[in-house]
Amino acid sequence: MTSKTTLKFMLAAGALSVGLSHGALAQGTVKIGSVLSVTGPSSFLGEPEDKTLRLYVDKINAAGGVAGKKIELVIYDDGGDANKARTFATRLIEDDEVIAMVGGTTTGSTMAMIPVFEEAQVPFISLAGAIEVIDPVRKFVFKTPHTDKMACEKIFEDLKKRNLTKIGMISGTDGFGASMRAQCVKVAPNYGMQILIDESYGPRDSDMTAQLTKIKNTAGVQAVVNPGFGQGPAIVTRNYAQLGMTATPFYQSHGVASKSFIDLAGPAAEGVRLPAAALLVGDKLPESDPQKKVVTEYKQAYESATKQPVSTFGGHAYDGLFILVEAMKRANSTDPQKIRDEIEKTKGFVGTGGIVNMSATDHLGLDLSAFRMLEIKGGDWNLAQSGS
């Protein structure tokens, strides 16, 4: 290649990176950012989050915005790639100059983005599950979904009520499964649980009968717990029924709390229990339940706008957005620092995931009552009768 052409390509490459600028900040608007995994392997989480944020920001703006200002929502899709998420986070801070962020679909992408928001001192409400996001507490990082540790505790609490203490575990080796398994092993002694056998499977495995047979042949197993999300738990559930193990109580995690799990697992899902947010059983909650109004309204709004069944993941985005909006109203300011202080003071916020009471040492603000123990009956979620 000649030197002249070399120069030309260099310039072309340079010009490419210049063409990334954005429009100027309009008056009377305030920018909220979001990086979500709308496509890629975590799209079943990211897509409802994306739709929820767009739907409710439109609603808020139609009602006059927040403190007289319209919200401008900037959403980027990281495709499930943490490195890309990190770049988009930098873009939100540096280029779009957002005052806060509600996003971070997976734990991996959230962890990659945290340093950006901590350094820029901009509040970041994450939608990721793992406890590492808020433990240790970081000044500008909050999250809305229940932690996997709470799910373990809820399951063990239920097991204890049923006088079952010897359990077998079968966990996915993906991020969610591995993290929840570790938390379950950690909290098991607090509930007097004995883990007799601890098996695992790969996220793309298509048959788990080998691991389940091992559990079946382990003497004394009174119940089986399956931390995991995606398709894995549905296959485990099917195999569980095929091996005729249904007499032993079977627990799934909140990771499968979407209608597609029941569809995938079919009749094998009958009798399976799992901890999940009130959103899934909104219409079955008693009228006295404080969350009844919020969850039924969200479900109706989401389903009529998207024509798709509601999932708890979109609910996390709803909670994050409204915790932020209420903090902005209280702060009556667009200063990220003041908004952060108000988010931390969130008390008695009724969301789809539970009642949120944050503090300087708790950036999640949910307790075990946020989880309902559900049982799948007749192809639908039902509130499990505790102690039965």
Partner 1 sequence: MRALVNHRILTLLVLAAMIAALPLIFPSSYYFRVASLVWVSALAAIGLNILMGQAGQVSLGHAAFFGIGAYAVAIGPAHLGVPPWAALFLGALLSAALAYLVGRPILRLKGHYLAIATLGLGVLVALVISTESRWTGGPDGMPVARLTLFGWRVAGSDTWYWVTGGLLLLGTWIALNLDETPTGRAFRALHDSEVAAQVVGVDVARFKLQAFVIAAVYASLAGSALAFMNGFINPDQAGFLHSVELVTIVVLGGLGSVVGSIVGAAVLVTLPQVLTVFHEYEHLLLGLIIIVAMIFMRNGIVPSLSGLLFRRARS
Q: Which residues contribute to the site for partner 1 (CB under 8 A)?
A: 1-14, 16-21, 38-39, 76-77, 79, 81-84, 86-87, 90-91, 93-95, 107-108, 111-112, 114-115, 130, 132, 173-175, 178-179, 182
Structure-block tokens of residue 171: 């966990």
Query: How many whole angstroms separate alpha carbon 318 and alpha carbon 48?
Result: 10
Quick one: 5 or 206, whose CB is closer to partner 1? 5
Q: Angle at which helices 292-306 and 312-331 pack, to 10 degrees?
A: 110
**Considering the complex, what minimum distance in angstroms separates the CB of residue 56 from partner 1?**
18
Torsion of CA 111, 255, 206, 165, to 10 degrees: 110
Quick one: 108 or 123, whose CB is closer to partner 1? 108
Quick one: 43 or 239, whose CB is closer to partner 1? 43
**Residues written for the chain:** 388
Quick one: 100 or 331, whose CB is closer to partner 1? 100
Quick one: 82 or 384, whose CB is closer to partner 1? 82
Quick one: 8 or 293, whose CB is closer to partner 1? 8
Closest CA to 313 of 62, 82, 44, 64: 44
- Which pairs from 378-381 meet CB under 8 Å and 24+ separation? 378/270, 379/262, 379/267, 379/269, 379/270, 380/262, 381/262, 381/276, 381/280, 381/281, 381/284
Quick one: 10 or 25, whose CB is closer to partner 1? 10
Query: How many whole angstroms separate alpha carbon 18 and alpha carbon 152?
Result: 49
**Considering the complex, what minimum distance in angstroms separates the CB of residue 75 from partner 1?**
8
**Considering the complex, what minimum distance in angstroms separates the CB of residue 148 from partner 1?**
11
Percent of the chain as helix, strand, coil, to the nearest 5: 50, 20, 35
**Considering the complex, what minimum distance in angstroms separates the CB of residue 100 from partner 1?**
17
Q: What Rg value do the Cα atoms of the chain yield, rounded? A: 22
Order of strands across the sheet with 372-377?
194-201, 166-172, 223-226, 250-252, 273-276, 372-377, 380-383
